[in-house]
């Protein structure tokens, strides 16, 4: 066939995937392939869904702990760690050869996890808005 690139270009892989998906679906529909809850042992009646209600007291305690942590941590250390992370992330965004794990760990040790997310979102954008075709 001329290698993997030629196979992609002439549609071989796409055809093989489509054929495999078609065969799989036919096996499910005919009962040859059993999938619990899809073509065997399906529920006949709707089960009640219990909605989780958080404990307001637990939320209050967590907010209290977080507030105390932010008051007691070394905020200068947090600013420095997040600054280093921002520099490394920008370098990564431009050159894509910078490892940002060490600056992230430094920020974690400085107790700045939400700051880490903010920095990465600022530099790389909101990943839920990225078109998957751009990433390929």
Q: Which residues of the chain have pLDDT under 70?
A: 127-136
pLDDT value of residue 7: 92
Is the separation of the CB atoms in 98 and 88 below 8 Å?
yes
Percent residues over pLDDT 70 in the chain:
93
Q: Which residues make beta-bridge pairs with 36?
A: 40
- Domain extent listing, the chain: 1-41, 56-135
pLDDT value of residue 135: 43
pLDDT value of residue 129: 58
pLDDT value of residue 43: 84
pLDDT value of residue 136: 40
> Rounded distance, CA 116 to CA 14, Å?
39
Tokens representing 123 are 């530099």
Q: What SS3 state is found at 123?
A: helix
> Rounded distance, CA 131 to CA 136, Å?
9
Is the separation of the CB atoms in 107 and 73 below 8 Å?
no
Q: Which residues make beta-bridge pairs with 40?
A: 36
Burial pattern 100-131, b for ≥16 Cβ within 10 A else e, equals: beebbebbeebbbeebbeebbeebeeeeeeee
Q: 102-131: per-residue pLDDT in tens?
A: 999 999 999 997 899 999 999 998 866 555
Q: Which one, of 106, 49, 51, lies nearest residue 74 by Cα?
A: 106
Is the separation of the CB atoms in 126 and 118 below 8 Å?
no
């Amino acid at each position: 066939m001329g290698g993997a690139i030629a196979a992609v270009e002439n549609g071989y892989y796409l055809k093989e995937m489509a054929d495999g998906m078609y065969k799989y679906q036919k096996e499910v529909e005919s009962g040859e392939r059993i999938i619990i809850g899809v073509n065997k042992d399906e529920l006949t009646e709707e089960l009640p869904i219990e909605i989780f209600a958080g404990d307001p007291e637990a939320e209050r305690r967590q907010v209290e702990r977080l507030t105390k942590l932010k008051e007691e941590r070394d905020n200068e250390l947090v600013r420095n760690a997040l600054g280093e992370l921002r520099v490394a992330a920008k370098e990564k965004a431009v050159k894509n050869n910078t490892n940002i794990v060490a600056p992230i760990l430094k920020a974690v040790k400085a107790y700045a996890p939400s700051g880490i997310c903010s920095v990465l979102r600022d530099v790389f954008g909101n990943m839920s808005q990225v078109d998957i075709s751009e990433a390929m």
